[in-house]
Amino acid sequence: MLGALFYILIFPGFLFLVFSGLTAEFIDRKIYARLQNRVGPPWFQAYADFIKLLAKEDIVPAESNPKMFKVAPVFALTAAITAFLYIPLWGKEALLSFNGDVIIVLYLLTLPTLAFFIGGWYSTSLYSRLGAVRSLMQLFAYEVPLFMGILASALLADTWSLKEMVVFYTAHPWFWMFNLMGFAISLVSLLGKLEKVPFDIPEAETEVVAGGFTEYSGRMLAYLRLTLDVEMVVGSSLLALVFFPFGLNLGPLPGFLLFLLKVLFIIGLISLLRTVVARLRIDQMINFCWKYLVPLALLQILFNLILKGTLLR
Amino acid sequence: MHDSKDFKIPIGPQHPALKEPEGFSVALKGEKILGVDIRLGYNHRGIEKAAEERTYVQDIYLIERVCGICSHSHSTCFVQAVEEIAGLAVPNRALYIRTIIAELERIHSHLLWLGVAGHEIGFDTLLMYSWRDREVVMDILAAITGNRVNYGMNTIGGVRRDIDAQQAEDILKALTILEERTKYYIEVATQETTIIKRLSGVGVLSREDVLRLDAVGPTARASGVKRDVRADDPYAAYAELSFEVITDDHADVYGRTVVRVKELMESYKIIRQALKNLPTGLLTVRAPRKIPVGEAISRYEAPRGEDVHYVKSNGTEKPERVKIRAPTLANVQAVKHMLRDRYLADMPIVVAAIDPCFSCTDRTVALKEEDCARAKVINWQALHAFSIEWYKQQGIDFTELNKKLQDRLKG
Amino acid sequence: MTQEEKIKESLVNKFNYLSVSIKIVRPRRISIEVSLDNFEPVFAYLARDLQFSHLCTITGLDEPEKLSFIYHLAADSGVLINLKIALPKSSPTLKTVTPYFPGAEIYERELVDLFGAKIEGLPSGHRYPLTDDWPVDQFPLRKEWKADKNA
């Protein structure tokens, strides 16, 4: 009982995630700043922002639906944190695991976006509603390639469980290289989920101010921002696990360090990508996802099916 | 949701896309823009009326403050008109120095624009880079004139500061750096896929529309209209310098970007020539305190387009009338046209593409006009009460909130 | 013959009454004064036939017994014509030039707000540049209007 509580509340659960999420935000912002020739924030900036927001007044717009407005951020954060419990950090064991947990993780990662939509929609401000509709529209575009990219890797391992995938890829050490295209597709789709340039359309400040987040303030805004940070960690961890499943039998400490390196690498890639491109328009974004990412993902699946039929027979 | 007919989203007077207060009310259907309603005039400072109540010399500094970015443009345009009325032969060296400052100002303005454009399309890296490089030209301007903006270089009959040999050398050094960076920006702007995707085909303004709607500056030139006061109606030293009028026939925001970055290269060329041929001689001729009766209109190619000043004198030391038409006012009509049937996401960049400078645009009327709607002097309490009333009429009631605030202050 | 003289000649040929009021001020600057009745044909001829394709702006003047308006028309050759009309202060009514230059709308609104000109045919729209609740009988750029007195 105590052990379970420790797992859920402290490590690798809530506290660890808050810590790593805010650190990830700092790393992302620092890399982004350095690439743009800026100094960037000090290491405690993300924590300071978070703590300051917690101390601020929560303003609920009179026109909004207060229940939905208040529930959405908590709901989003909970979903993102829960997703993390299914991801094995090192070795093969996650806190929770069953056959089909890949689907659960992806599903739980979709929920924050839905919560953003609900929160934005029930704020009733024009900008919020536009932002909310945009995040939902975007969801339908990036979710499919993201699912397919991860599915391709699972298909090769012939399992729906993250644990089983780890077992498979440890047995076939170089097979992860076949999934590199899937990784690229999933990484780009992840940018959409994290609402980062070029897919920061739902919160494009020059168009819709802050999109669905416009009316949020204080603690609820802190939760929303933390959700995005946690999502970044969870998403990167998932990609690290699914696409770079090597060195997983090193034991706790080296395994954990290697895992951190992989996650850092992915966060670095995210920062780099958002430095070198401009924001797309929503129609261009949807076009791009369906015209390029989905066919490429299909190609990866096809490739993996052929691999399975030949190499693994 | 709302009926699509009344789904109107306010962009401004305060909005992250706009750097200055100006109201756009955008009617939307989904993401598509059905129509745009522009309300100008939030920035009125009464400069034209104020100019009538000041002497010519005071007016130079007042008019310089019409706009921060193109301050030299406005002051040069004004002194040119006054000099024409007074029949002053401005020394050649002064004309060359005016030209050099004008082109340095164009460089800083265009680099500023490039950064803003990047920001509007969510490409903050471009913003950070071009604003960093803009510091090079800002430093040069500060070294020559003492200020980063509002240079105070002009006076009636000439310029107030010289450019010495050391400064000339510094300018040339800076130009080498800037030229290299500009080449890089030309490459980025013409090759980076997401930039091209966001810019091309957006905010199309055909050649006919330019002529119909009287657009000026890079906005007009990007639609293939060769309209540049520097070449058509040369002033300062432009008649003696050789440069190309950059035009482009993309007729969209992409074209406007290309025109601006290429114009940077022309500006470097102009400054190099001007420094090389900088004549020796006086900086100013003596101007009379009272300007004889007359009138003159002066045109000037500001970074944003043609700037027009009309001055009428009445034989005293104060002008009878000063009329200023800033380039943005000429271009703002075209914005409405450019936004038709576009997406909301294009709105910021289309507006930014004319390089709007609304504080230039709104400049007329009386000094206290925001408050004098009730035709009396309004003190702070009265203004406070007035604002509460005004918001009540708009359906926003602060009474409760104010009461709470008062209680909290007392308690 | 310079281009300015050519323009002058063709204008005088077309409209005899202009021979007195047309002046070449300096190279690339011509000024013309016309009466209200003759304004429209002259303006149309300049804009359509002589290719003065750019209306720089419209200046209003309080002179102070009458109101004058100057239309600054520019051609691509760099020649700029100041076409001036004077109206009595009691009824400063003139026709819109928006059929020729739709972009002139905002310049004409400025004349309405600041000088109290009445412009026939001006499309309805927002005020410019004054606020919506500015008194309708106050015209700030008229000479009798003083900032201190009215503020």
Q: What is the mean pLDDT of residues C5-23?
A: 88
What are the residues whose beta carbons fall under 8 Å from the beta carbon of A257, sequence distance 6 or more? none
C54 Cα to chain B: minimum distance (Å): 6
Q: In this complex, do B132 and A281 lie within 8 Å of one another by their Cβ atoms? A: no
Model confidence pLDDT, tens digit, residues A289-306 = 999 999 999 999 999 889
At residue B363 the predicted structure's pLDDT band, cuts being 50, 70 and 90, is: low
pLDDT the model gives residue A295: 93
Q: In this complex, do C60 and B323 lie within 8 Å of one another by their Cβ atoms? A: yes
Q: Which of B19, B188, B194, B339 to mutate to test the interface with A (most CBs of A within 10 A)?
A: B194
Q: What is the mean pLDDT of residues B376-405?
A: 69
Q: Which helix (H) or strand (E) holds C94?
A: strand C93-95
pLDDT the model gives residue C150: 55
Which candidate from C102, C106, C135 shows the least CB-CB separation from B332?
C106
Q: B323 forms bridges with which residues in the sheet? A: B310
Model confidence pLDDT, tens digit, residues A35-46 = 988 888 999 999
Alpha-carbon distance of B57 to A227, in angstroms, equals 60
Q: Is the pLDDT of residue B267 over 90?
A: yes
Alpha-carbon distance of B138 to B270, in angstroms, equals 18
Q: How far is CA B86 from CA B75, B90, B296, C95, in A?
A: 16, 11, 10, 34
Task: Select from A85, A92, A135 the least CA-distant residue to A110.
Answer: A135
Edge to edge, the sheet with strand B319-325 lists: B294-302, B305-313, B319-325
Contact C97, C108 (CB under 8 A): yes
pLDDT the model gives residue B3: 44
Q: In this complex, do B369 and C133 lie within 8 Å of one another by their Cβ atoms? A: no
> Do B319 and B377 fall into the same domain?
no
Q: In this complex, do B321 and C59 lie within 8 Å of one another by their Cβ atoms? A: yes
Q: In this complex, do B49 and C70 lie within 8 Å of one another by their Cβ atoms? A: no
Q: Comparing A50-54, B174-178, B390-394, which segment has the lowest mean pLDDT?
A: B390-394
Structure tokens at A137: 């529209």
Which candidate from B333, B366, B372 shows the least CB-CB separation from C103?
B333
Q: Which of B197, B202, B342, B346 to mutate to test the interface with A (most CBs of A within 10 A)?
A: B197
> Do B379 and B315 fall into the same domain?
no
pLDDT the model gives residue A206: 79
Q: In this complex, do B46 and C78 lie within 8 Å of one another by their Cβ atoms? A: no
Residue B214 lies in a domain: yes
Which 8-state DSSP code applies to residue B367? T
Alpha-carbon distance of A138 to A150, in angstroms, equals 19
Residue B35 lies in a domain: no
Alpha-carbon distance of A18 to C61, in angstroms, equals 68
Residue B269 lies in a domain: yes
What are the residues whose beta carbons fall under 8 Å from the beta carbon of C4, sequence distance 6 or more? C24, C27, C28, C29, C30, C79
Model confidence pLDDT, tens digit, residues C33-54 = 998 888 889 999 998 888 888 8
Q: Comparing A67-76, A256-265, B327-336, C23-32, which segment has the lowest mean pLDDT?
A: B327-336
Give the other-Cβ count within 10 Å of B92's Cβ.
16
Contact C2, C27 (CB under 8 A): yes
Edge to edge, the sheet with strand B8-11 lists: B8-11, B23-29, B32-39
Model confidence pLDDT, tens digit, residues B53-96 = 889 998 898 888 888 888 899 999 999 999 999 999 999 999 99
Task: Select from A147, A222, A155 the least CA-distant residue to A190.
Answer: A147
Of residues B401 and B329, more confidently modeled: B329
Contact B123, A277 (CB under 8 A): yes
Which 8-state DSSP code applies to residue C136? T
Q: Is the pLDDT of residue B272 over 90?
A: yes
What's the maximum distance between 2 C-alpha atoms anywhere in chain C? 54
User: Distance from first CA to last CA of chain B, Å, rounded?
Assistant: 43
Q: Which domain holds residue B230?
A: 47-335+346-361
Number of structural domains in chain B: 2
> Do B126 and B171 fall into the same domain?
yes
Q: In this complex, do A37 and B197 lie within 8 Å of one another by their Cβ atoms? A: no
Residue B90 lies in a domain: yes
Alpha-carbon distance of A149 to A151, in angstroms, equals 5
Q: Is the pLDDT of residue B364 over 70?
A: no
Q: B305 forms bridges with which residues in the sheet? A: B302
Strands (E), B32-184: 32-39, 154-155, 158-159
Alpha-carbon distance of B364 to B311, in angstroms, equals 14
pLDDT the model gives residue B311: 92
A-B CB pairs within 8 A amount to 82
Contact B108, B138 (CB under 8 A): yes
Share of chain B above pLDDT 90, in %: 26
C55 Cα to chain B: minimum distance (Å): 7
Q: How far is CA B79 from CA B176, B235, B267, B319, C70, in A?
A: 32, 12, 22, 12, 20
Which candidate from B229, B325, B367 shows the least CB-CB separation from C57?
B325
On chain A, the residues whose CB falls within 8 A of the CB of B125 are: 35-36, 275-276
Closest Cα in chain A to B202: A281
Q: Do chains B and C touch (3 or more CB pairs under 8 A)?
A: yes
Compute chain C's Rg from CA coordinates.
16
Q: What is the mean pLDDT of residues A55-69?
A: 87
> Do B169 and B279 fall into the same domain?
yes
Contact A178, A307 (CB under 8 A): yes
Closest Cα in chain A to B15: A209
Q: Which helix (H) or strand (E) holds C67?
A: strand C66-74
Structure tokens at B35: 């129509």
Model confidence pLDDT, tens digit, residues A86-140 = 888 766 677 777 888 888 888 999 999 999 999 989 988 888 888 898 898 899 8
At residue B359 the predicted structure's pLDDT band, cuts being 50, 70 and 90, is: low
How far is CA A147 from its chain centroid?
A: 12
Q: How far is CA C35 from CA A134, A169, A219, C21, C88, in A?
A: 58, 92, 70, 10, 11
Alpha-carbon distance of C66 to C87, in angstroms, equals 6
Model confidence pLDDT, tens digit, residues A161-218 = 888 888 888 888 788 888 889 999 999 999 988 888 888 888 888 777 888 888 888 8
pLDDT the model gives residue B104: 93
Q: How far is CA A283 from CA B32, B192, B290, C4, C13, in A?
A: 11, 19, 62, 53, 59
Residue B19 lies in a domain: no
Alpha-carbon distance of A284 to B201, in angstroms, equals 13
Cis check for the bond before C129: say yes or no (omega within 30 of 0): yes
Contact A135, A285 (CB under 8 A): no
Q: How far is CA A37 from CA A34, B124, B130, B184, C121, in A?
A: 5, 11, 11, 16, 55
Tokens 């991860």 locate to A150
On chain C, the residues whose CB falls within 8 A of the CB of B86 are: none
> Do B115 and B94 fall into the same domain?
yes
Q: In this complex, do A207 and B128 lie within 8 Å of one another by their Cβ atoms? A: no
Compute chain B's Rg from CA coordinates.
23
Compute chain A's Rg from CA coordinates.
19
User: Phi then psi for B188, rounded to 5 degrees?
Assistant: -60, -50
Residue B119 lies in a domain: yes
Report chain B's mean pLDDT, rounded to a whole number.
84
Q: In this complex, do B16 and A205 lie within 8 Å of one another by their Cβ atoms? A: yes
Alpha-carbon distance of B173 to B288, in angstroms, equals 39
> Do B292 and B399 fall into the same domain?
no
pLDDT the model gives residue B371: 40
Q: Which helix (H) or strand (E) holds C57?
A: strand C54-62
Which candidate from B212, B227, B365 shows the least CB-CB separation from C140?
B365
Report chain C's mean pLDDT, rounded to a whole number.
86
Helix (H, G, I), strand (E, B) or coil at B247: coil
pLDDT the model gives residue B200: 86
pLDDT the model gives residue A185: 93
> Do B379 and B399 fall into the same domain?
yes
What are the residues whose beta carbons fall under 8 Å from the beta carbon of C79, sequence distance 6 or more? C3, C4, C7, C28, C29, C30, C52
Model confidence pLDDT, tens digit, residues C120-132 = 888 888 888 877 7
Residue B28 lies in a domain: no
Q: Which residues of A touch B (CB under 8 A)?
A: 35-38, 126-127, 129-130, 134, 197-198, 200-201, 204-209, 275-284
pLDDT the model gives residue B367: 38
Which candidate from B7, B194, B345 shows the least CB-CB separation from A204?
B345
Model confidence pLDDT, tens digit, residues B123-171 = 888 899 999 899 889 889 988 988 888 888 999 999 999 999 999 999 9
Q: Is the pLDDT of residue B379 over 70?
A: no
The domain segmentation of chain A, as residue ranges, is: 56-310
pLDDT the model gives residue B16: 76
B-C CB pairs within 8 A amount to 128
User: Phi then psi for B27, rounded to 5 degrees?
Assistant: -85, 130
Q: Is the pLDDT of residue B34 over 90?
A: no
On chain C, the residues whose CB falls within 8 A of the CB of B321 are: 59, 61-62
> Do B317 and B232 fall into the same domain?
yes
Task: Select from A100, A97, A90, A41 the least CA-distant residue to A255.
Answer: A90
- Write down the H helix ranges in B250-326: 253-276
Contact B288, B273 (CB under 8 A): no
Domains and their CATH numbers in chain C = 3-142 (3.30.460.80)
A298 Cα to chain B: minimum distance (Å): 24
> Do B293 and B377 fall into the same domain?
no
Residue B117 lies in a domain: yes
Closest Cα in chain B to C27: B233
Chain A touched by B129 (CB under 8 Å): yes
Alpha-carbon distance of B301 to B308, in angstroms, equals 9
